[in-house]
Amino acid sequence: MKAIINAHILGDNEISNGTIVFEEGKIMKIGTSEEVEIPDKAEIIDANGRYVTPGFIDAHTHLGIDEEGVRWEGQDYNETTSAVTPHLRAMDGIYPYDQGFHDAVAAGVTTAQVLPGSANVIGGLTVCIKIRLGKSVDEMVIRQPSGLKIALGENPKGAHGNHGRAPKTRMAVAAILREQFSKAKNYMEKKQKGENVFDFELEALQLALEKKIPVRAHAHRADDIMTVIRIAKEFDLDLSVEHTTEGHQIAHLLAESGAKFTVGPTISSRSKVELRDKGWQTYKALEQANVPFAMTTDHPVIPIQYLQTSVSIAVKEGLSEQTALKSVTEHAAAVLGIEDRTGTLEVGKDADIVIWDAHPLKQNSYSWKTFVDGNIVYEQENR
């Protein structure tokens, strides 16, 4: 059992002199120092007035599946031999000893979703992990699978159309999605009739059609976003739009869509046509339209340790502090479907906690101690 005392706890109910007691990975008590009685057996951690938040969550990464410091040997995120690979699992490509995991916890990131890349129209199954260092991937999983990755726009067109394979156009991308989901619906009907059929690829699509997992759609441009919203309505899919770069152009339509959204990375350059209108205005526009969203680095596009930097810049560019923090905590957890476990500091939730040396929205602040499931995974004592 541990107890963090003298903490400035950030959240909907900010506590200036707070205490958090946690045991066996779960938060047992939280409140002001006057409210919370600390058991005698608790190990005391004195925050000495430092700021405390839930562990940050990066809702869209290729952490460990697109390894840093290596070439093709560690690039296991795009199986470009086919445009349709729904049966692939990101979990099977993650190298848990990649440097990115160490960088993440040092920057207060305790949870991440790892996705296949966006070269394919249908890329495979995503996974949410806790960043527990020195573990196998199996010991890191918090939700498996956490979604079905699909992609619209330039990436699948370039990876396949430029090599003489479908899709070559946006029309073909949409047609392939409709074709595959239609096949999966027919497959489900055959199974319901008692026919002895099994298709590994269609089993993955069935998870999405049954809404057991969301479809996580790589889409930058406004037209691609609207296309996937249209397809999601046709097949009654639970939709999460990834990147949402031109979301500010259609914020009012996003608010009506019922979809979830992840925005970013925004620090990166406008490296392709789809990113011509990329900017910090997207965050403010979605906030004004009352559209909750998560923020992402798309690691390693932007190294995951700069998630905090992204949040800080978004505030500098007009996003409210409350929405900014929620985009990497509460809202991010909701986008990933793990809000029952993490994303807020509440009794019964996982003890994923960061003690910051200063307010986390200050660009020069850093994690003093990072906890995952109540265990210290990073501490900086002498900085």
- Report how far residue 246's alpha carbon sits from residue 277's, in angstroms, rounded to the nearest whole number: 7
From the CB of residue 26, how many other CB atoms can be counted at a distance below 10 Å? Answer: 14
Q: In which element (H, E) is residue 18 found?
A: strand 15-23
Quick one: tokens of 257? Answer: 């869509």
Is a pLDDT exceeding 60 seen at residue 383?
no
Mean pLDDT of 2-11: 97
Is a pLDDT exceeding 80 seen at residue 381?
no
- Report how far residue 83's alpha carbon sits from residue 168's, in angstroms, rounded to the nearest whole number: 11
Mean pLDDT of 358-375: 94
- Taking the complete model, does pTM exceed 0.95, yes or no? yes
155-177 core/surface letters (b: 16 or more CB in 10 A; e: else): bbbebbbeeeebbbebebbbebb
> What is the predicted pLDDT for the residue at 134?
82
3-state secondary structure of 156: helix
Task: State yes or no: cis peptide before 265, omega within 30 of 0.
Answer: yes
291-328 core/surface letters (b: 16 or more CB in 10 A; e: else): bbbbbbbbbbbbbbbbbbebbbbbbeeebeeebbbbbb
Question: pLDDT tens digits, residue range 186-245?
Answer: 999 999 999 999 999 999 999 999 999 999 999 999 999 999 999 999 999 999 999 999
The dihedrals phi and psi of 58, each to the nearest 5 degrees, come to -100, 110
Q: Nearest-CA neighbor of 202 among 239, 148, 165? A: 148
Percent of the chain with pLDDT over 90: 95
Tell me whether residue 44 is exposed, middle or buried, using C-beta atoms within 10 angstroms of its C-beta: 0 to 12, 13 to 18, 19 or more.
exposed
- Report how far residue 308's alpha carbon sits from residue 363's, in angstroms, rounded to the nearest whole number: 8
